[in-house]
Amino acid sequence: MNLLFLLATLGFQIANKPVYAHNATYNNPIIPGWHSDPSCTFVSEWNNTFFCTTSSFLAFPGCPVFASTDLVHWDLISNALNHPAQLPQIQTSTNAQTLGIFASTLRFRNGTFYLLTAWLDTDNPSTEFVLFTTTDPFDESAWTNAFQIQNPSGAIDPDLFWDDDGSVIMAFSGSPIKASYIDLATGNASEPFDMWNGTGYNNQEGPHLYKKDGYYYLLIAEGGTELHHSSTIARSKSIKGPWESSPHNPFVSARYTDRYFQTVGHSDLFQDAEGNWWGIALATRAGPALYNESIYPMGRETVLYPVSWPKGDWPLADQVMGEMSGPLPPRSSKAHSVPTFMGEPDIVDFVPGSSIPTHWVFWRAPAKPESFTISPPGHPNTLQLIASRANLTGDASFKALDGLTLLARRQTNTLFEFSVDVHPGFYKAQGDEIGVTAFLHQDHHIDLGLVFMGGSPNSKGRVNFRCRATDSDATNFTVPSPVVTPVPSSWLSETIRLYIRAENDTHYQLSAAPAARPHESRLLAAFTGALISGPDVFTGNLLGVYATTNGGNHTMEGYVSRWRYTPIAQQIDYNDFVRSWEL
């Protein structure tokens, strides 16, 4: 379907966007796409700017850091983990697909930003706590190497809190939540002490400590990061308790409701320049049928809610909705002069001398960086891909250091169009393939590839379109068989444009056209978003390009160009869409 026709005919309900500063409405998610386990801090010294970080698991660069001056428009300003030497395991680990880096805490003190996080992998019997610091979060090169902080109990989700006497307390997951005093100079941690066991739900994790009006407040996540997820809060006059549970718990949650935003929890709290309190949390869009219908490809996203916290009293949170209102700071269209503003389209032509955009990611740090070259000699305005032996799923012999030739960006809109041009003549042997993918991780992805099948280039083989889905643990539906379609003979010598489109909130359409004649686009297949969703999956959909020999032990290189990601609309409630350019 022609994109302009689609935009003209979509019957959206349009949300009005106010331009005034206070008591203004805004839409969730504020950081859309896979951005889970958020932690935020407000820094007046940096032009009254809010800074947030989210989980990245195996995506690299990792530990993304976002900035905003109005809580609505967010820039990706750096990635704290941006080169493999900072944390070599991100390149070499053979860990499971949903381990890696997650549940960080971001704090600012005495001119320094601290990002404390956890690293998990199957090669290491114990979770590592690692700390990154910087005095300039806008300079990616200024982030330090990972500094190990002792993990006293093999826990996850470390917090950072400075008490009035300057001592540093690190709370972390446990039943009950536990904490240790730590030395930031040595990384040593004291014997842990028990804190609070929550309100009776499982998986007590994601703790954050605050001190206000003579009380220590402990905010935690409970119920697991699924439909029973919540944030709950307690307080005590002493850091070691006893802890009193808030009479208003859960502090924020969507469990047992029919709200469109579900799995709400794993929160953090912060103030703005005028002293207003705000909460940040993760949430998943799909409604309470989430884990039955299993269609939520963007995974866990970052949402914002206002908090009322009278002196000496308990904090109260507005429950998360798609449209909310609160005392927002003055609006700004772009917080800082940085290249990546969340919500903008991708228009990337790989011009000579340019770099890979900051918001694009690899799956693990690339084992072979030379597999990705912008505008190599003789091929200006292209991205050269040197194929990996393994395809996106891998095989029994796959090791992390084998590498995957995959470069992607997060899906950040419910409805979108993604396209890349693939140049002809890349194939050398059967199985050679270049394509586009909707990629959750190696066990869940939807691919549209140009693949050479049936022989050698000089024999009877030919290039086909192959639409293929991988879902290793589908339980409530059947994974469709691959759809193979011969490339029209008249297209074989031409650059071909491959498309992935989401024209509704449940399915992805895969299509192709000659790049010079996009009006000849052909729909090749449509797949359900359930293939890249599913319970116990902590990541979210990535859209990108890949190249593989599908097990062949030879070198294959190909070229792609004209990378485009066009946001169309954001769903904020059942049947309620906002056009992306209105956000």
Same structural domain for residues 251 and 290? yes
Same structural domain for residues 424 and 390? yes
Residues 120, 173: Cα–Cα separation, whole Å: 14
Tell me if 63 sits within 8 A of 121, measured CB to CB. Answer: no
H/E stretch holding 135 reads none
Give the tens place of pLDDT for each residue, 108-140: 999 999 999 999 987 777 899 999 999 999 999
Same structural domain for residues 307 and 362? no
Which domain-ending residue is among 294, 326, 358? 326
H/E stretch holding 170 reads strand 168-172
Which of 225, 339, 284, 253 lies closest to 34, judged by CA?
284
Which of 67, 89, 565, 577 lies closest to 336, judged by CA?
67
Which of 532, 456, 547 lies closest to 498, judged by CA?
547
DSSP state for residue 430 in the 8-state scheme? T
Written as six digits, the tokens of 34 are 């896979």
Tell me if 86 sits within 8 A of 143, measured CB to CB. Answer: yes
Q: Which of 75, 140, 159, 205 is catalytic?
A: 205
Same structural domain for residues 307 and 358? no
DSSP state for residue 58 in the 8-state scheme? T
| pLDDT given for residue 8 in this prediction | 41
Q: What is the pLDDT confidence band of residue 458, given thresholds at 50, 70 and 90?
A: low
In sequence order, what are the beta bridge partners of 307? 277, 317
In sequence order, what are the beta bridge partners of 156? none
| pLDDT given for residue 94 in this prediction | 67
Contacts of 478 (CB under 8 A, 6+ apart): none
DSSP state for residue 73 in the 8-state scheme? S
Which domain-ending residue is among 266, 294, 326? 326
Give the tens place of pLDDT for each residue, 291-350: 556 689 999 999 999 999 999 999 999 999 999 999 999 988 655 555 566 778 999 999
CATH number at residue 79: 2.115.10.20
pTM, two decimal places: 0.93
Please report the sign of the dihedral spanned by the C-alpha atoms of residue 173, residue 56, residue 540, residue 14.
positive
Domain presence at residue 341: no
Residue 516's identity, in one-letter code, is: A
Residue 561's identity, in one-letter code, is: S
In sequence order, what are the beta bridge partners of 122? none
Could you identify the residue written with the tokens 């990705």?
Answer: 372
Residues composing the chain: 583
Residue 38 scores a pLDDT above 70 = yes
E runs forming strands in 272-386: 277-285, 300-308, 316-317, 323-326, 346-348, 362-363, 372-374, 383-386
Give the tens place of pLDDT for each residue, 264-297: 999 999 999 999 999 999 999 987 776 556 689 9
Residues 583, 16: Cα–Cα separation, whole Å: 9
Exposure pattern of 130-166 as b/e (b: 16+ CB <10 Å)?
bbbbbeebbebeebeebbebebbeebbbbbbbbeeee
Residue 222's identity, in one-letter code, is: E
Which domain-ending residue is among 326, 356, 389? 326
What do you get for the CA distance between the two ends of the chain, in Å?
Answer: 24
In sequence order, what are the beta bridge partners of 279? 269, 305
Residues 350, 353: Cα–Cα separation, whole Å: 8
H/E stretch holding 9 reads helix 3-9
Same structural domain for residues 145 and 238? yes
Cβ burial, residue 63 (10 Å; 0-12/13-18/19+): buried
Could you identify the residue written with the tokens 């809580």?
Answer: 71
Domain presence at residue 150: yes
Q: Active-site residue 301, yes or no?
A: no
- C-alpha distances in Å from residue 345, one per residue of 9, 74, 153, 374, 431: 20, 14, 44, 20, 33
Residue 456 scores a pLDDT above 90 = no
Q: Which of 37, 70, 222, 494 is catalytic?
A: 37
Stretch 437-462: mean pLDDT: 86
Residues 216, 43: Cα–Cα separation, whole Å: 21
Domain presence at residue 6: no
CATH number at residue 471: 2.60.120.200
Maximum CA extent, the chain = 80
Cα 345 from chain centroid (whole Å): 17
| pLDDT given for residue 292 in this prediction | 58
Residues 23, 301: Cα–Cα separation, whole Å: 24
Could you identify the residue written with the tokens 């390149």?
Answer: 91
Stretch 476-481: mean pLDDT: 83
Domain presence at residue 335: no
- C-alpha distances in Å from residue 370, one per residue of 12, 225, 297: 44, 38, 31
Q: What is the pLDDT confidence band of residue 1, given thresholds at 50, 70 and 90?
A: very low
Same structural domain for residues 293 and 178? yes
Same structural domain for residues 291 and 371? no
Could you identify the residue written with the tokens 């956890």?
Answer: 118
Domain presence at residue 463: yes
Q: What is the pLDDT confidence band of residue 229, given thresholds at 50, 70 and 90?
A: very high
Helix, strand and coil content of the chain, in percent to the nearest 5, comes to 5, 45, 50
Which of 151, 140, 88 lies closest to 117, judged by CA?
151
Residue 30's identity, in one-letter code, is: I
Written as six digits, the tokens of 90 are 């991100």
Domain presence at residue 339: no
Domain presence at residue 125: yes
Domain presence at residue 427: yes
Which of 288, 231, 300 lies closest to 256, judged by CA?
288
Which structural domain, as residue segments, surrounds residue 561?
A: 346-582
Q: Active-site residue 520, yes or no?
A: no
Same structural domain for residues 527 and 569? yes
Domain total for the chain?
2
Residues 75, 342: Cα–Cα separation, whole Å: 6
Same structural domain for residues 242 and 110? yes
Same structural domain for residues 467 and 552? yes
What phi and psi, each to the nearest 5 degrees, are found at residue 223? 90, 5
Give the tens place of pLDDT for each residue, 372-414: 999 999 999 999 999 999 999 998 888 888 899 999 999 999 9
Number of alpha carbons in the 13 Å side-chain half-sphere of residue 366: 20
Alpha helices in 84-193 (DSSP H): 89-92
Same structural domain for residues 229 and 366? no
Residue 504 scores a pLDDT above 70 = yes
Which of 577, 483, 574, 465 lies closest to 527, judged by CA?
483
Residue 15 scores a pLDDT above 60 = no
Same structural domain for residues 208 and 264? yes
